[in-house]
Amino acid sequence: MAIPAEKQFASAERQAVTHILHPLDPLTADEIEAAAAILKEASQLGPRVRFETVVLKEPDKEVVEGFSEGDPISREAFLVVLDNDREATYEATVSLNDKEVISWEHIPGVQPRIMFDEFAECETTVKSDPEFQEALRKRGISDPSLVMVDPWSAGYYGYPEEEGRRLALARNFLRSSPNDNGYARPIEGLSVLVDLNKMEVMRIDDYGVVPLPPQDGNYGAEFLDQFGGNFRQDLKPLDITQPEGSSFTVDGHRVTWQKWHLRVGFTPREGLVLHTVGYEDQGRIRPVLYRAALSDMVVPYGEPGGDHYRKNAFDAGEYGIGSLTNPLTLGCDCLGEIFYFDADLNTGSGKAFTIPNAVCMHEEDYGILWKHTDWRTGQVEVRRSRRLVISSIATVGNYEYGFFWYFYQDGTIQLEIKLTGIINTASIEQGEDPKYGSIVAPGLIGHIHQHFFNFRLDMSVDGDANTVQEVNTVAEPLGPDNPHANAFYAQATTLKSEVEAQRVIDPMSGRYWVVTNPSSANALGRPVGYKLMPGENILPFADPSASIMKRAGFMAKHLWVTPYAADELSATGSYPNQHPGGAGLPEYTKKDRNVENTDLVLWYTLGYHHVPRPEDWPVSPVGYCGFSLKPVGFFNTNPVLDVPPSAHHNGACHG
Ligand code: NI
């Protein structure tokens, strides 16, 4: 196995942040444990209590914007607690400075996320259930020890017997050995509903036995003999070396690279969070984004049979994608001079745990930045582009999601999602032709599905008071203004209210959306702006009456705009797990508030369409989707003329 990890990782730096430098610094491990302990003591929590969330309660914007280095910092924690015995959820705020509980509230009718501890407990519960074991025996499985039980969120379908109960739907697979890829053998037709508060099997539905697929589906290096027997031999070393180190500086959670200034944060629900992103221009740091993060995501599947219609996990709101983030210590996820941020998160018992190297930061050469050859004189001017990459990767059951934020020298910010891992599989009778899926191996199918992500982008283009315009390119009608039939132009329309600002992409009109600052003009006298450039995108195929369309209403529009509200953080609301629907963006925007010339938040939905291919099995090569934020008149001219020509072994790359 030729992975030169040691070489790449030997140069990695790490910095343990143990003291608080800024009001937006995430809670430290000590603060997490202190917050949980203060709450435990004050509220006399019962013995069967789980801490879903212990995070920084982010201070008001005025506090952040008015903060100077060395100012006193007030630290508060926000906690969500589930009491399994009372079957009740509570929210609390704890002052870490005063060591006291500031607020404590019962939140009726909600279910917190499915927590990691519950994964393992659910698996044990299901595997030791006699009825489950009997159903396994019907399928020729006498030993449950190699069965994998994946607890999927149960959704909401209005079934009276499920009302008010904390549920997971167990989907089951069989390994042939401890390291075997169990997703090669889905135990089809066996649907297990688990009550997570009582931690007992509530109901088993058996939709009928389907034979287990005959083939293994392994991909690990140890299984090389199963997929060809040899690694390809023609790869020569490709080393990234930065003999003088990286060009960024890090101070606590603050990052400075080229002209970019930003802060790196992290939460168990959202994962990577970017704060106070600004670009230095003529000695002044000009704000672009106040906060940016994944707000939620959902993966609806298209198969109506058995219990497959219930497959639609919200990987942030129902599982906490941040808490499922990979430690990047042991892989080859990043190359070059790497800086890692650890993430300190809470366990279900209110202790802290650290994901070492949860966030990777490095620089990449990105081809050419700009170029021109004067063909008369032969003079060539070319500059190389470099980007700063800040990324993290999470494993949610079978799937991997990488979230990569790129910062470019020309002021562009790009978000790229890398989708990989193992597709969700089902078994099928050999010889059957599946309508709602693709055969990826004998007797094994991947159902058609979509991945929808929503990013909350709290914009601050040269300040908080912003306006969104939609720009469509239109063809001039034939007539006196268009005598040669060639005319077309870009037309900007202001989106004034929340309802007006619910939009979908239109690639044929070159549609994009610009966040402008009406009170900040560039040298050309026009309002400065940043545009949101959609990438590949799609709409959902589920009918508007489907449960998932109500529960993930954000999918219906690609763009949403809301006025800033501190408690509106997720496209699916605070508690999407088993929520009947309507929460999040559909609810926030009901009042149709003004979004013109105000502190606004842009929410961008992007859908990744996935008709599985045989090439996606047994592990999918990375698929990509994303969007960009690009300056439009934010600068007076090309902002990267000052990037120096690169040194070259035969002299400079110019002239
Ligand atoms: Ni997929």
CA distance 412 to 285: 15
Which pair of structure tokens corresponds to residue 323?
């808490």
Measured in angstroms, how far is the CA atom of residue 185 from the centroid of ligand 1?
Answer: 18
Which pLDDT belongs to residue 6? 33
Q: Which residues are catalytic?
A: 315, 399
Four-point Cα dihedral 366, 367, 370, 372, nearest 10: 180
Distance CA 89, CA 103 (A): 14
Cα dihedral 87→91→96→101 (10° resolution): -80
Q: How far is the CA of 394 from the centre of ligand 1 (A)?
A: 14
Q: Say if residues 107 and 92 touch (Cβ distance below 8 Å).
A: no
Q: Do the Cβ atoms of 215 and 649 come closer than 8 Å?
A: no
Cα(276) to centroid of ligand 1, in Å?
32
CA 622 – ligand 1 centroid, Å: 10
Q: What is the pLDDT of residue 230?
A: 92
Q: How many other β-carbons are positioned within 10 Å of the β-carbon of residue 327?
A: 16
Q: Tell me: the pLDDT tens digits for 320-340?
A: 999 999 998 766 788 889 999
Tokens of 303: 């198969």
- For ligand 1, the distance from its centroid to the CA atom of residue 451, given in whole angstroms, is 6
The answer to whether residues 96 and 79 touch, using CB atoms and an 8 Å cutoff, is: no
Task: Label residue 98 left, alpha or beta by phi (over 0 means left) and psi (-120 to 50 means alpha).
Answer: alpha
Distance CA 53, CA 266 (A): 12
Question: Any idea of the CA torsion for 201, 203, 205, 210, to the nearest 10 degrees?
Answer: 10
Task: Find, among 519, 599, 602, 522, the residue nearest to 554 by Cα.
Answer: 602
Residue 183 alpha carbon to ligand 1 centre in Å: 14
- Expressed in angstroms and rounded, the spacing between residue 450 Cα and the centre of ligand 1 is 6
Q: Are 547 and 157 in contact (CB under 8 A)?
A: yes
Closest CA to 319 of 199, 420, 168: 168
Ligand 1 mean position, distance from CA 17 (Å)? 36
Residue 521 CA to ligand 1 center (angstroms) comes to: 43
Q: How far is the CA of 423 from the centre of ligand 1 (A)?
A: 6
Low-confidence ranges of the chain (pLDDT < 70): 1-18, 330-331, 648-655
| Total Cβ atoms within 10 A of residue 171 | 26
DSSP string, 562-582: EE--TT---TT-S--TT--S-
Tokens encoding 245: 């180190």
Beta bridge partners of 205: 191
H/E stretch holding 126: helix 116-127
Q: Is there a contact between 170 and 151 (Cβ–Cβ < 8 Å)?
A: yes
Identify any residues that bridge with 295 across adjacent strands, giving them in sequence order.
none
Record the pTM. 0.95
Dihedral (Cα; 645, 648, 654, 655), 10-degree rounding: 130
Compute the distance from residue 209 Cα to the ligand 1 centre, in Å: 26
- At residue 417, the 3 state secondary structure works out as strand
Q: Which two tokens stand for residue 92?
A: 């609390």
Q: Are 89 and 577 in contact (CB under 8 A)?
A: no
Torsion of CA 609, 621, 267, 50, to 10 degrees: 90
Hey, how many other C-beta atoms are within 10 angstroms of the C-beta on 36?
25
d(CA 495, CA 595): 7
What is residue 81's predicted lDDT score, i.e. its pLDDT? Answer: 97
Q: Tell me what pLDDT residue 652 has.
A: 56
Cβ pair 272, 293 in contact under 8 A:
yes
Query: What distance in Å separates the CA atoms of residue 331 and residue 629, rounded to the nearest whole number?
Result: 30
